Structure 1
Amino acid sequence: MTGLRTLKKQRTHEAISSAAISLFLERGFDEVSVAEVAAAAEVSKPTLFKYFASKEDLVLHRIADHLGEAARVVRQRDPGEDPLAALHRHFLTGLERRDPVTGLNDHEEVLGYHRMVFSTPSLAARLFQHMAADEEALAEALAETMDALPAALLAGEVIAVQRVLARRNWSELAAGTPIADLHPAAVAAADRAFALLRHGVAGSGDGGPPTGRREAG
């Protein structure tokens, strides 16, 4: 009976989520009420809120599934592998399997999903809350291998790099770049970004004032 109840809950959760995403993509997040989502999923509004605490969570639970992922990568890395190398490898693996979280996925619903999240203020704000939690978890994992301050700084940089790379990949696909053409460029961008994390932007030739311009002071 416990197994059947769990299965029923999973099916209800998925039905609500699918109905919500479908309606939001069709009409826009702000144009669809929670009551309409509940009706489409054939559940009551109170039942919906038992599964999703807010309207935004109807969308972002798909991203929330990745919460703590960077911290897990660090803690479960191969013996002798340094944390940054493990995070780099994990991102490249995500690109290879076209993980939507890397932005490199050209499925119509995935492209529309990202467009909705990036263009809806309340969703974008909630996304940054998730990222802050991810950053904190990663900082704690890194602090097991280094001092707390560099761990916190590196965690913030890693989460920012992942966000920028994913946004760039999605933007290129949304602009019409074929995914087969974009994949090598996405890999090269990831390699460059993680190299900058390791060696520092200022020391790479990518930072500082343009040639011929003097720094103030």
Structure 2
Amino acid sequence: MSGLRERKKERTRQALSDAAVALFLARGFDAVSVAEIAEAADVSKPTLFRYFPAKEDLALHRFADHEDEAARVVAGRPAGDSPLDALRAHVLDGLARRDPVTGLCDHPAVLAYQRLLYGTPALVARMYAYQGRSEAALAKALGGDAVDARVAAGQIVAVLRILAEENVRRIGAGESADGLYEEAVAAVERAFAGLRRGLPYA
């Protein structure tokens, strides 16, 4: 029963986020009120806030599943693979699939969402909070709260963010995902080679 309840909650959460993002894309993040989102989704404001404590979270819901992604990749890596080996393979797979999280995706709906995200200071600031939690989860997967694990996690998450942002920037400037793919792969290889030289996880 609890599984069914959780699935129902997630469907509601997704519907609320979808309604909000549609309004944000049409009119801009700052021009849309929480009351308007609640009305569009046919729920009360208190109900909306039970699912999303802040307006920014409505826009960033699609990032929620990715918040601990790097940690899950490290924790579930095959025997014999180092954390960096597993993360490198995961990123390369994402590029090949044109996963929007890698930034290497030129689907019009994804591009519109990315323009909203990177063009709204409040959402950029909120995204950094998500990345902070991603660092904490990855540090735990790497070895707990030790300073070395936290430093390593910070470097890895920063590298992943910069790689994705560069892909977003170039596709936003008019390049295609297919045309950029080989350069994006090469950038991943250089970045992970640098991490291996600087981190004890090769």
Question: What TM-score comes out, normalization by structure 1 length?
Answer: 0.85
> What does residue 182 of structure 2 align with?
184
Q: Structure 1's 168 and 77: CA in aligned 2 closer, same or farther, altered over 3 A?
A: same
1:154 aligned to 2:152? yes
Which segment is superposed worse, 160-169 or 99-108? 99-108
- Aligned counterparts, 1:133-152, within 5 A: 133-143=133-143, 148-152=146-150
Q: Structure 1's 87 and 55: CA in aligned 2 closer, same or farther, altered over 3 A?
A: same
Q: Structure 1's 10 and 76: CA in aligned 2 closer, same or farther, altered over 3 A?
A: closer
Contact kept? 2:71, 2:141, Cα under 8 Å? yes
> Unmatched 5+ residue regions in structure 2?
none
Residue by residue over 1:24-72, the C-alpha shift from the partner in whole angstroms, topping out at 9 and shown as x without a partner, is 0111100100111111112221221121111011011111111111111
AA partner of residue 166 (structure 2)? R
Residue by residue over 1:132-174, the C-alpha shift from the partner in whole angstroms, topping out at 9 and shown as x without a partner, is 1111111111116xx9333222111100000000001111111
Contact kept? 2:98, 2:177, Cα under 8 Å? no
Aligned residues: 199
Between the two structures, name the one with larger relative contact order (CA 8 Å, sep ≥ 6). Answer: 2
Which segment is superposed worse, 164-173 or 101-110? 101-110
> What does residue 18 of structure 1 align with?
18
> Unmatched 5+ residue regions in structure 1?
201-217
Q: Distance in 1 between matches of 2:9 and 2:119?
A: 31
> What does residue 175 of structure 1 align with?
173
Q: Distance in 1 between matches of 2:176 and 2:102?
A: 16
Q: Structure 1's 4 and 193: CA in aligned 2 closer, same or farther, altered over 3 A?
A: closer
> Which secondary structure does the structure 1 equivalent of 2:55 belong to?
coil
Could you tell me how far 1:14 is from its partner in structure 2?
A: 2.4
Could you tell me how far 1:102 is from its partner in structure 2?
A: 0.7
Could you tell me how far 1:3 is from its partner in structure 2?
A: 6.8
AA partner of residue 141 (structure 1)? A
Contact kept? 2:60, 2:123, Cα under 8 Å? yes
> What does residue 67 of structure 1 align with?
67
Root mean square deviation of aligned Cα: 2.0
> What does residue 44 of structure 2 align with?
44
Q: Distance in 2 between matches of 1:151 and 1:13?
A: 33
Could you tell me how far 1:193 is from its partner in structure 2?
A: 0.8
Which segment is superposed worse, 159-168 or 147-156? 147-156
Query: Going by fraction, where is helix more abundant, 1 or 2?
Result: 2
Could you tell me how far 1:119 is from its partner in structure 2?
A: 2.0
> Which secondary structure does the structure 1 equivalent of 2:98 belong to?
coil
Q: Distance in 2 between matches of 1:162 and 1:105?
A: 15
Q: Distance in 1 between matches of 2:162 and 2:155?
A: 10
Of residues 188, 194, 199, the one that matches 1:196 is: 194
Question: What TM-score comes out, normalization by structure 2 length?
Answer: 0.91
